[in-house]
Amino acid sequence: MIKIALDAMGGDCGPKTNIAGAILATKAYPIEIILVGDKDLIDIELSKHSKSDISKLHLRHASEVIETAESPTKAFRKKKDSSIHVGLNLVKDKQADGFVSTGNTGAVLAASTFILGRSKDIERPGLAGIFPSKTKPFVILDLGSNVDCKPQHLVEFAIMGDFFAQFILERENPKIGLLSIGEEKDKGNALTQATFPLLESLPFNFIGNIEAKEITLGKVDVVVCDGFVGNNMLKFGEGISKLFSSFFKEEADRSLLSK
């Protein structure tokens, strides 16, 4: 059975939320989960659930926690017994098939690179995210791990995105788009113009440039961009959503007050 190591200490809510999620996951999928983190804190949370609910959960103690605000590289070097280190080492030692963490993104990225290493021919790891669209979700990368990219890095993101879309989003022959500011081949900046012919020459379903206003229509399964642009778009999307929420809240308050 597939075993997933889960960083029980990651995220803003700690073991409570991670364990609740782990229970849901073991009910939804044929997997076992190894909770990695502070044994005492995890035991307290586990004791709140029924024996059958936690029957597919295991525990691996880790004495340290990397906080969200810590410097990823410093924390990686200092806290060798963090839940992130211990979890990734389970994967390295083949005791787990994968590692999931909602903790310090930079630390997970740094630790993954150093502990697991990179795939052959992939120079840079990528940060991918799944975005909603009008039809179906798509994957976008890079979202900030590489802020100054060369064309080859975007090609690597496209290849990883293609696999992600096939095996995680279950898309056949995924459509891959290069984020740019115009659909024509010669539109965009120096980076996208140099990347376009490289993507064209690869044996996958590259549909050309795609504009940011088109990605939310669900026209592609994979959006490729450099991490500076991707991260800004991700955060701008977050900002806009909050802005809309605040407008709605104001409007709702006003309409309740007027009644």
Query: Where does this chain bind a second copy (CB under 8 A)?
Result: 132-134, 144, 147-148, 179, 181, 188-190, 211-217, 225, 227-229, 231-244, 246
Q: Which CB atom, from 41 or from 194, has the smaller least distance to a second copy? A: 194
Residue with Cβ nearer a second copy (133 or 166): 133
Q: Closest CB to a second copy among 18 and 145?
A: 145
Tokens of 204: 């996958």
Quote the distance between the C-alpha of residue 178 and its chain's center: 19
Cis, peptide link before residue 221, omega less than 30° from 0? no
In the complex, least distance from residue 28 CB atom to a second copy, rounded to whole angstroms = 25
| Nearest approach, Cβ of residue 69 and a second copy (Å) | 12
Q: How far apart are CB 71 and a second copy at their closest, in Å?
A: 11
**Dist CA 246 CA 198 (whole Å):** 43
CA angle 36, 41, 43 (to 5 degrees): 80
Q: Which is nearer to a second copy, 32 or 226 (CB)?
A: 226
For helices 151-167 and 190-200, give the axis angle rounded to 10 degrees.
50
Closest CB to a second copy among 131 and 204? 131
The residues pairing with 128 across neighbouring beta strands, listed in sequence order, are 141
Where are the alpha helices (H) located in 117-170, listed in sequence order?
A: 151-167
Residue with smaller CB distance to a second copy, 8 or 127: 127
Rounded to a whole number of angstroms, the minimum distance from the CB of residue 229 to a second copy is: 5
Q: Report the distance separating Cα 154 and Cα 13, nearest Å.
A: 34
Q: How far is it, in rounded angstroms, from Cα 186 to Cα 192? A: 9
Angle between helices 14-28 and 39-46 (to 10 degrees): 60
Strand partners, 36: 7, 60
Q: Which two tokens stand for residue 127?
A: 């940060």
Q: How far is the CB of 239 from a second copy (least distance, A)?
A: 4
CB of 145 to a second copy, least distance (A): 11
